[in-house]
Amino acid sequence: MEVFIEHLLNSAYHYQRQRLIELYSKEPKTYASSHIRFGGWEISYNGKGRTRLIKETMGNLNFVSKTIYLNIIYSHWLVGLPIPHVRDFSNFLDTIAHELAHCLLGDFDLDLASEHNDEHKKLTREISGYLVKLPEVNELERLQREFGKISKKR
């Protein structure tokens, strides 16, 4: 599952990154890594996900590594356990989109990466709209429904 989530994150990220480059005619900062790691599932009492952007140095070069963590409640929900805070599949996708927006904003201006302003909200909505069209998301949604049926029968 972790490899699948990382693939999903990077597929959406690369598409949106290229779209933003074309839209703003602006290249990302040279220090922006073009890969996002999925850090796994973590217990969080005040959030659904977390993006960690770390500025690292290699010799004379600086770059930013990106890791997205998702709340462990999503892993439970994906296998069909009832989780009151997760209403439907769009809630899960909105969390992924929200974290991807932090990564994308950080590519162009690291100071913007932690913001929750109108630009972040708009970008999150655009990414959510893109995610629902991906075949990976459709398959994940189908599997989640199947797991839900199995767990409810027991």
51: enclosing H helix or E strand: strand 49-58
Task: Write down the pTM of the prediction.
Answer: 0.89
- Average pLDDT score over residue span 75-85: 81
Task: Give the Cα separation of 74 and 72 in Å (integer).
Answer: 5
- Average pLDDT score over residue span 58-87: 85
pLDDT range class, residue 82, cuts 50, 70, 90: confident
- State the pLDDT at residue 138: 92
